[in-house]
Structure 1
Amino acid sequence: MSVDTDGLPEFENPPLNEVVLGVQFQSPSNFQEIRAYEVWRLYADRFPNLTEQPPMLPQFETFGAFQPPQIAFSFGPGLQRRYWFESAAGDELIQFQHDRLFHNWRKRHPERANYPRFEYIIAEFERELLELERYVQGLGNERLVVTQCEVAYFNSILLEPGSDQFAPQQWFAFLSPEHSPVESFSSAAGQVLRREGEPYGRLFRESATGFDGYRRPAVFLNLTARGLPATNDVPGALDFLNQHRYIISQEFIRATTPAAQQLWKRTR
């Protein structure tokens, strides 16, 4: 599926705070936890800072009959870990564990709209995925077998400090214009995504009030698309991410008001 990038909205000052591209795959049969340092060395020139984090549980979008909850078993402490490989500036991050690779861009300067564009991020992620695939092939595996893909956009909309109420309909088009002012706000919605009539993933829209990383009052709008790519290889994963970046962009326009988009200086 080709993506019409000319139809994508553009803003001079978007409320975007973080973008995440991620791929989950079958754990390579010849990978052992001790080799995580070798994986970090693939990226260490651009991501010199290494830290350990709690592991992420497998995520699968399932459909149809009732699915029992997935239970993760661990045999001994620290058997499986997640690793953060951070850039020196802290604005880019690779998350790696035995069954997934994620790339995060994070806004680190609150007064600057310094998003480097999706095209830059996915080009970097493609290079990182292919480097990882070559590494696991060197261990005797054929390739990465992709089981789920994810693209997420996290937006932080600043509110007036010191006020105990705000009008969420000022920002969100899915609310009535007559909505009463509120002290706090929370909303969540999920939409099934279909390919040739069959479900393969979901689009999630979540919004809630809170405080950003600088303790400023804000309302957050998070959009996530997650699901199974058309093919379970790296090209299929990249195609999924490209397609669903477009889907998320269109949902952002549907979910926000023209007045809000004007404040964010929409140019297209």
Structure 2
Amino acid sequence: MPRLWFINKNQDELVQLQRDRFYFNWREGPNRSQYSTYDEIYRKFSQHWTLYREFLAEMGIGLAIRECELTYVNHISHEAGWTAMSDIDKVMGRMTWQSSKDGFLPAPRSVNWQALFDLPADKGRLSIKLQPAFRGEKKEQILLFELSAKGIGSDRSDKGVDDWFETAHEWIVKGFEELTDRDVQRSVWGKER
């Protein structure tokens, strides 16, 4: 099967099918859709996933879940308080560049950061990446902050998959909160607590 995309009218939801993959994506569409919550997105994913499994069952095609994935991609613009790569600590409190008077290296022109964490109960891993990128036709410089959980654990039942996504969501949210500056969380992303 070739890769197939099904995009909704607002162009902010995408179902992608491949021979061995089923993806449901929410993205900022051209109409600048309001940010959807995890619960809203997961409900829609579950609806599409159920329809797809029912279709496979009708066709007599088996299904074996090998891995699940939940990914958040965050575009961090200059409005978050950074202007150069040496300012990353203003947004990402735990990531800093400290030049010294005696140091040889100047502030970096670019930074790529990646870390990998194990999820509990052998449920997989959480990958966190930060790198510079450019957005839109105007090529606005941004930081691309991606948190991606992959895995499944031993329980591949419907409940096991739901539990896996809950664990993945918790780790992504708490990882985001731990790595980003709290003042920026409030002022840029509207975090209340």
TM range (shorter): 0.7 to 0.9
Change (3 A) 1:169 1:81: same
Change (3 A) 1:238 1:213: farther
Letter in 1 for 2:187: L
Q: Which has the higher helix share?
A: 2
* Structure 2 residues not aligned, in runs of 5+: 100-105
* Offset, 1:235: 3.1
* Offset, 1:88: 1.6
Answering whether residue 20 of structure 2 is matched by residue 99 of structure 1, we say: yes
Letter in 2 for 1:260: V
Change (3 A) 1:119 1:134: same
Q: Is the 8 A contact 1:91 1:106 kept in 2?
A: yes
Letter in 2 for 1:85: F
Answering whether residue 9 of structure 2 is matched by residue 88 of structure 1, we say: yes
Answering whether residue 56 of structure 2 is matched by residue 136 of structure 1, we say: yes
Cα separation, 2, equivalents of 1:175 and 1:132: 42
* TM-score with structure 1 setting the length: 0.62
Residue in 2 aligned with 1:47?
A: none
Q: Which has the higher contact order (CA 8 A, sep 6+)?
A: 1
Aligned residues: 182
Residue in 2 aligned with 1:108?
A: 29
Residue in 1 aligned with 2:150?
A: 226
Change (3 A) 1:165 1:203: closer
Cα separation, 2, equivalents of 1:92 and 1:257: 29
180-189 vs 100-109, which moves further: 180-189
Residue in 1 aligned with 2:163?
A: 239
Change (3 A) 1:181 1:261: farther
Question: What is the SS of the residue equivalent to 2:161?
Answer: helix
Q: Is the 8 A contact 2:85 2:111 kept in 1?
A: no
Residue in 1 aligned with 2:113?
A: 187
Change (3 A) 1:263 1:222: same
Cα separation, 1, equivalents of 2:192 and 2:54: 41
Residue in 2 aligned with 1:76?
A: none
210-219 vs 163-172, which moves further: 163-172
Q: Is the 8 A contact 1:168 1:181 kept in 2?
A: no
Cα separation, 2, equivalents of 1:83 and 1:139: 18
* TM-score with structure 2 setting the length: 0.84
1:1-268 matched pairs, under 5 angstroms: 80-108=1-29, 114-141=34-61, 144-159=63-78, 166-176=86-96, 178=98, 181-195=107-121, 199-214=122-137, 215-264=139-188, 265-268=190-193
Q: Is the 8 A contact 1:126 1:238 kept in 2?
A: no
Change (3 A) 1:153 1:144: same
What is the root-mean-square deviation of aligned Cα atoms in Å?
2.3
Letter in 2 for 1:94: V
**Ranges of 4+ aligned residues in structure 1 off by more than 3 Å:** 163-166, 176-182
Cα separation, 2, equivalents of 1:138 and 1:202: 34
Cα separation, 1, equivalents of 2:167 and 2:136: 30
Question: CA-to-partner distance for each residue in 1:25-65, whole Å, 9 max, x for gaps?
Answer: xxxxxxxxxxxxxxxxxxxxxxxxxxxxxxxxxxxxxxxxx
